[in-house]
Amino acid sequence: MEHQKKFIVLLLIISLFITFSFGCNGIPVVPEIDPNPDTNPYNSTVSYIKVISSSSTIKVNQSQQFIVKGYNSDDEWVVLDKSKIKFWDWSVQGQCYSCVEEYVDLSPKSGSLTTTFTSGVTGTFFIVAYYQENIGDDYITDYTEVKVVK
């Protein structure tokens, strides 16, 4: 009886560890990366953005989180306003967009410094973020590549 209780407690601890290792929803997240710094540098005007992820390869039907970070002209990390992320988008290389569109999910598509991508088909995909500092300004964009494999 004593060994059975220890086994159940050990199994529970291992289950919790696995759950928290992959995030509560099972989506791998970029480890220890906050989309924004704690404080803004003196020059807080966004010059460019970077889209990053924890891996450049995922498996079919596996989800991956992407994060956008902003930088000023001095290459210092600056605070981004999530409402200025006008949209997240994706494209696919060497395949018909409309042929794979129903198998791809990207969410949320705007207003967030992070997005989650899932594809039910293999291929080379590009995840892009569009940031607009002020209405009427050109978009500041960046993308990253992710390969979806079997």
Residue 81 maps to which CATH number?
2.60.40.1080
Within-domain flag for 10: no
Question: What are the tens digits of pLDDT across the range 20-41?
Answer: 444 444 555 555 567 888 888 9
Q: How confident is the model at residue 19 (pLDDT cuts 50, 70, 90)?
A: very low
Domain of 116 in residue numbering reads as 26-149
Within-domain flag for 86: yes
Hey, is 113 helix, strand or coil? coil
pTM of the model: 0.77
Within-domain flag for 46: yes
Residue 39 has a pLDDT of 86
For residues 37 and 67, what is the distance between their CA atoms, to the nearest angstrom?
A: 13
Within-domain flag for 16: no
Within-domain flag for 13: no
For residues 82 and 35, what is the distance between their CA atoms, to the nearest angstrom?
A: 10
**Do residues 84 and 78 lie in contact, with contact meaning Cβ atoms separated by under 8 Å?**
no
Q: How confident is the model at residue 5 (pLDDT cuts 50, 70, 90)?
A: low
Q: Which one is predicted more confidently, 7 or 69?
A: 69
Within-domain flag for 17: no
What's the total number of domains in the chain? 1
Hey, is 36 helix, strand or coil? coil
Within-domain flag for 3: no
Question: What are the tens digits of pLDDT across the range 40-72?
Answer: 899 999 999 999 998 999 999 999 999 999 999
Within-domain flag for 74: yes
Q: Which secondary-structure segment (H or E) carries 99?
A: helix 97-100
